[in-house]
Structure 1
């Protein structure tokens, strides 16, 4: 049984919770990040739906809001509470409110340091980065309860991070040659390392295992350091070798599918249970008839 969280998140009315909301936001945005106080507060606050996180003693520790323009903003967690699930709980509460309102899409401006956090929750980058309130930001969006189109490499990376984050036990990856430009990105390697060091497994099914070996793909080196968590197999059946697509699928409801495996564009969804189940059922028989990549275990030894 999971231990109870040492905090709670609840919807609040702005007028009643103004002091608590501003206390957190001023601590994070104004004092910590140097955002001018006149920018941090705006006329939208009374029109927004707010969520507030409090610790066990009732002290405010995190905030977030939904604007009438269907954007998420003012996500802030006190420094001493970061990395403890507060931000995830705040974002989940905002997504639940958006669904209850019948909204089918949300957008946000993520600080550059928070892009991976929002990606883990299904948000994909749109366009280039820009400076807002003196800080580098990235526009991101997510369709709710629907397939999200992936159109760029950065969006593909975000889609992969979301699928990896949803893995409970086994992440399955079907790839031609370990997807250079995607699975060798530092963010992807960090996500895979987190899975491996937390007792989860990664199965990678390849069509051309020689290419990443020649290229000294960093994922092979990572797998050699954590051999109990990673397994590589190579497809040999001609039908499997002719399969044009590539995908990653977790063991819950998340997937990222590319019709052409050498490209990054495709579709993703973190709550698409039927399609995730279909992809796992397609992956497993190919995995069973594929050969283990023994050459990867020996590389570099």
Structure 2
């Protein structure tokens, strides 16, 4: 029986950086963002008894091994070990968009794979426990430099304000009118910089500065922008919502650029300035920085210009996604 899980990628509007334990263990943290309609798909087929190996894993490379301990893919090896699942299997990972691009793909895969293994074990895992399990694998088992927004967005789905402080965690769904939601979805788009990078490595300088409280003022401002963003999104005037949200995104991007020298590059600055000159309301770089995708709010006429300027391979239309990680279906 073939089993498929899908887990959404995400974009955050405000608060990125305050979701790292080095920050929210001392100060209130928050992230305002949304899961998007682009996914990581994890496909599992039981390995045939006639197969020469117990595990075949296909992603950027192909692994064929007999023992879980020999699996090179860190998340797959760690999850199978943690959950004591050792049935021979053929696993394939497919993504709508490139990895290492600031959309939380690594954590989205972790969430989706835990969802899949839990399903195969006959367990219906809650969204909260799914998020916590993914954070545990990445932060505790693999000792990676990760925040907790990526796992949260992918597990829960939807457009939400997440608050983190100490061991406390809360979710506030954004209450939008249909007209405002539709206007937001019509305006959301991505531009790919063409640069892939490791989030864990890129964020190293920022985490160091966070521990030393050298960027406390900037992170506090990004935290405060979350509350302003909620007020804007929950307004009743869609046009005003877009222009105000764009202005706040621009404010947040200028602040984020100051967190680390690794966040922006001349190429990233050029893309941002070009998009603004073409009529985008505002935008920001997604993820830790250094490359990946840039998020923009832009009216339809500006999006057409952006498509023509950046090219079809670099321009991606997106919308919000409400469901979070799920088992698509079992195929007999």
Superposition TM-score, scaled by structure 1 size: 0.28
Higher relative contact order at CA 8 Å, sep ≥6: structure 1 or structure 2?
Answer: 2
Superposition TM-score, scaled by structure 2 size: 0.26
